[in-house]
A and B are shown apart, each in its own frame.
Chain A
Amino acid sequence: MKYRAKVEISLKPGLSDPEGETSAESLVDLGFKIREVGISKVYNIYLEANSEEEVYTRVDEMCKKLLANPVKDNYKIHVERIE
Chain B
Amino acid sequence: MKKEDIKVCILRVGGTNCDAETRRAFNELGVVANVVHANKIIKEKNLLDYDILVFPGGFSYGDYVRAGAIWGKRIKTKLGYELRKFDEEGRLVLGICNGFQVLVEAGLLPDFEGFSESPKAALASNTSIKYECRWIYLKHENSGNCIFTKRIQKGERIFMPVAHAEGRFIFPKKNENEYLKRLYCNDQLVFRYCDEKGKYAAGKYPISPNGAFHDIAGICNTDGNVFGLMPHPERACYGWQLPDWTEQSQILRYGDGMLLFESMVDYLVKR
Contacts and interface: CB of A to CB of B under 8 A. Distances in A.
Whether chain B is bound by chain A comes out as yes
Interface of A: 12, 14-16, 18-19, 22, 64-67, 69-72
B118 A18 contact: no
A69 B119 contact: yes
B31 interface: no
11 contacts: A15-B173, A16-B127, A18-B127, A18-B128, A22-B129, A66-B73, A69-B69, A69-B105, A70-B118, A71-B170, A71-B172
B125 A67 contact: no
B119 A70 contact: yes
Interface of B, secondary structure class, is loop
A72 B120 CA distance: 10
A16 B211 contact: yes
Interface in B103-117: 105
B79 interface: no
Given A69-B105, A70-B172, 11 more contacts: A14-B173, A15-B124, A15-B170, A18-B126, A19-B129, A64-B118, A69-B69, A71-B122, A71-B172, A72-B122, A72-B172
Interface size range on B against A: 20 to 34
A9 B24 CA distance: 40
Contacts of A71: 119-122, 170-172
B173 A12 contact: yes
A65 B118 CA distance: 7
Given A65-B73, A66-B69, A72 B170 contact: yes
